[in-house]
Amino acid sequence: MKIIVEKDYEKMSSKAASLISEAIQKKPDLILGLATGSTPIGTYEELIRMHKEEGLDFSKVTTFNLDEYYGLSPEDDQSYRYFMENTLFKHINIKKENTYVPDGLAKDPNAYGKEYDEKIQKQGGIDIQILGIGRNGHIAFNEPDDELILSTHLTGLTKDTIDANSRFFDSIDKVPTKAITMGLGTIMKAKKIILLANGKNKTEIMGELLKQDKVTTNLPASLLLLHPDVTVIMDEEAAELYKKNL
């Protein structure tokens, strides 16, 4: 695991964006795994700037998102498809048909999940997967549990995640309680993973994760310790406990 600590959120975001941009320049038809949430917004803003000012070309890039709330349509302004359209896709020259976000209305979500995984593999697999981390250690919506499911699947959200995500909704009872998420197997198949973390509410979990002394399904992100090519990029705040433990 390569660990990079940047001064602040802006620097963390531009570091992540420059890794992605270098990869697109090397492989214009890059398969990029994307995340939602607050963490990657700055990275997306920097990619948009690079597209507009430096001509970074997304015309051959394909993207696969990690997850989607179950029960929300793509037009719902709380859906992750809606978030991706507004935060990134509509500002760059990516082809809509090359952007995949799990379908929150899938009738048979587990069969759908299998198809989603097959689609990823048929495209050649994810070259770079961007990840955030939940303060409970989840990645995508793989919540701490006795067992973790490998493939893309329907899952329930924990109370902690519902609490954390309620900041985007009018009230906590509006937060969906289920989601379709890539599983740990899907995520671990990505050739390269970039895990981003910023802010004080990630200090504790990053300290715990980066002790690097065990893997446990109770901290789903710890499985990343087994992956051969993970780069962690944090800001100073998220890195506080990690640095203390060094």
Q: Which of 65, 68, 117, 136 is catalytic?
A: 136
Beta carbon nearer to ligand PGA, 35 or 48: 35
What is the smallest separation between the CB atom of 111 and ligand PGA, expressed in angstroms? 25
Beta carbon nearer to ligand PGA, 39 or 99: 39
Using CA atoms, how far residue 26 sits from 46, 94, 108, in Å, is 18, 17, 38
Beta carbon nearer to ligand PGA, 39 or 62: 39
Question: What is the chain's Cα-based Rg?
Answer: 17
Closest C-alpha among 34, 39, 43, 40 to residue 164: 39
Residue 50, amino acid:
M
Residues that bind ligand PGA (CB under 6 A): 37-39, 132-134
Q: Which of 46, 117, 127, 143 is catalytic?
A: 143
Residue 153 among the catalytic residues: no
Cβ proximity of 158 and 120 under 8 Å? no
What is the smallest separation between the CB atom of 97 and ligand PGA, expressed in angstroms? 27
Q: Which of 6, 67, 117, 235 is catalytic?
A: 67
What is the smallest separation between the CB atom of 92 and ligand PGA, expressed in angstroms? 20
What is the smallest separation between the CB atom of 116 and ligand PGA, expressed in angstroms? 18
Beta carbon nearer to ligand PGA, 98 or 182: 182
Q: Which of 46, 98, 117, 138 is catalytic?
A: 138
Beta carbon nearer to ligand PGA, 123 or 217: 217
Residue 67 among the catalytic residues: yes
What is the smallest separation between the CB atom of 38 and ligand PGA, expressed in angstroms? 4
Q: Which residues are catalytic?
A: 67, 136, 138, 143
